[in-house]
Copies of this chain bind each other. A is one copy, B any other.
Amino acid sequence: MKVAFLLLVLAFAFAPAHGAEGPRGTGDLGLVVERATGSVLIVETTGNTALKRVEGLGDLSHASAVFGRDGRFAYVFGRDGGLTKLDLLEGRIDRRVVQAGNSIGGAISADGSLVAVANYEPGGVRVFDADTLDPIADIPSTELGDGKRARVVGLEDTTGDRFTFSLYDTGEVWTLDLADPAKPVVRRFEGVGDQPYDALVTPDGRWYLAGLFGEDGAVLLDLWDPKAAPRRILDGYGRGEAPLPVYKMPHLEGWAVAGDLVVLPAIGRHEVLLVDRRTWQEVGRVRVHGQPVFAVARPDGRQVWVNFAHPDNDVVQVIDLPTRSIVRTLEPGKAVLHLEFTPRGEEVWVSARDSNRVTVYDTETFETVAEIPAEAPSGIFLTARANRIGF
């Protein structure tokens, strides 16, 4: 491991600067979050290599990223409220602001002009100009008393200049329309359910689904119908009548949609739920190795790859969706935290934090294509996300 890491360092040392290297496309670029060191690796998925490490991004535990529409800039959301605009081509921080005390991800508008951040402290959503990171709008969440406000989770971009998010502490879903950024239009839906903890938007931008941690179900909002209100769905999705201990909260995201199915990690149980996208009824469950954290569909929707909470987090399982069966169990390393498919799904990148490496698999043969040393890697994000709704 140390030898491999030394080789990586040497590779960086000898990597030519952009000018010498000449122009390159951005369609195959991405980044790997190195959570312990506040750094990211800029990577490329054609040769499957790390191009450069960039440091100084602050506290990157639970960090995520979105991309500008030209694929050159990433916006990295740190846990400490830091919002960092990263230049993937020049391999440096372009701009950085610390916009809150505690944050949990963000989103970018369809035209790439607005970046929104979900904040815990102070609770609310702040919106920034994607070019300059100048503040555009500030949407405080519901007051809780003592100067505190509800924590914002599940912030998703949908279509146009619209965002949707949930308030964990007060059980609300809000939509935000910034067609005129000077006059944000907010719609508030109260009493949608107890403790919405994360959300996804379907790839068509129509359905916003938030999981509930405090009760046994989820909440769904039709964003295409201006008269629609959130409705409760999926009784039995949540922790159940006799809640199990939950070692790590599962995540919801747009990659969960696979053809007619939405694939959701159960909360606490060793199961993945299959939900019909037309009726929003549960149509099946697949028994898996542990408590699922991410259940990510390959872009063609034929497979779903699942990782797990401690103590089962050294394993990834592959579900074949047509047969709803586990077709492979892989061991990419210790503490597998995230996985990301290449845009057309022929390969997948898997991070193993405690093994200090990212493993790239061929999704058809399940063979290891590459191993890339990284410092305690967590989230992996590729530029193709810029072209998708709700990521």
Residues of chain A touching chain B, judged by Cβ–Cβ distance below 8 Å, are: 18, 23-29, 44-46, 67-73, 88-90, 110-112, 159-160, 203-206, 224, 259-260, 278, 299-302, 322, 342-347, 364, 383-384, 386-389
Q: Which of B69, B204, B259, B344 is in CB contact (< 8 Å) with A27? A: B69
The answer to whether B160 touches A300 (Cβ under 8 A) is no
Query: Could you say which residues of chain B place their CB within 8 Å of the CB of A112?
Result: 46
The answer to whether A23 touches B71 (Cβ under 8 A) is no
Q: Which of B29, B70, B343, B364 is in CB contact (< 8 Å) with A386? A: B343
The answer to whether B343 touches A69 (Cβ under 8 A) is yes
- Give complex CA distance A370, B75 in Å: 28
The answer to whether A71 touches B27 (Cβ under 8 A) is yes
The answer to whether B344 touches A387 (Cβ under 8 A) is yes
The answer to whether B300 touches A26 (Cβ under 8 A) is no
Report if A69-B89 is in contact (Cβ < 8 Å); known contacts: A26-B25, A111-B346: no
Query: Could you say which residues of chain B place their CB within 8 Å of the CB of A70?
Result: 24-29, 44, 46
Q: Which residue of B lies closest to A70 (CB)?
A: B25
Report if A110-B159 is in contact (Cβ < 8 Å); known contacts: A70-B28, A204-B259: no
Tell me how far the C-beta of A148 lies from the nearest C-beta in chain B, rounded to whole angstroms: 35
The answer to whether A387 touches B389 (Cβ under 8 A) is no
Query: Could you say which residues of chain B place their CB within 8 Å of the CB of A300?
Result: 159, 203-206, 389
- Give complex CA distance A302, B224 in Å: 9
Query: Could you say which residues of chain B place their CB within 8 Å of the CB of A46?
Result: 69-70, 112
The answer to whether B344 touches A388 (Cβ under 8 A) is yes
Q: Which residue of B lies closest to A67 (CB)?
A: B27
Query: Could you say which residues of chain B place their CB within 8 Å of the CB of A344?
Result: 69, 110-111, 159, 387-389
The answer to whether A27 touches B28 (Cβ under 8 A) is no
Query: Could you say which residues of chain B place their CB within 8 Å of the CB of A259?
Result: 204
Query: Could you say which residues of chain B place their CB within 8 Å of the CB of A25?
Result: 26, 68, 70-73, 88-89
Tell me how far the C-beta of A176 lies from the nearest C-beta in chain B, rounded to whole angstroms: 16
The answer to whether B389 touches A299 (Cβ under 8 A) is yes
Report if A345-B110 is in contact (Cβ < 8 Å); known contacts: A204-B302, A301-B204: yes
Report if A23-B18 is in contact (Cβ < 8 Å); known contacts: A346-B159, A384-B387: yes
Q: Which residue of B lies closest to A299 (CB)?
A: B389
The answer to whether B160 touches A383 (Cβ under 8 A) is no
- Give complex CA distance A317, B72 in Å: 35
- Give complex CA distance A346, B260 in Å: 25
Q: Which residue of B lies closest to A157 (CB)?
A: B344
- Give complex CA distance A319, B284 in Å: 35
Tell me how far the C-beta of A170 lies from the nearest C-beta in chain B, rounded to whole angstroms: 30
Tell me how far the C-beta of A345 lies from the nearest C-beta in chain B, rounded to whole angstroms: 7
From A23, A89, A159, A160, name the one whose CB has the most chain B CB atoms within 10 angstroms: A23
The answer to whether A23 touches B89 (Cβ under 8 A) is yes
Q: Which residue of B lies closest to A297 (CB)?
A: B204
From A27, A45, A90, A205, name the one whose CB has the most chain B CB atoms within 10 angstroms: A27
- Give complex CA distance A71, B364 in Å: 24
Q: Which of B18, B159, B322 is in CB contact (< 8 Å) with A224? A: B322
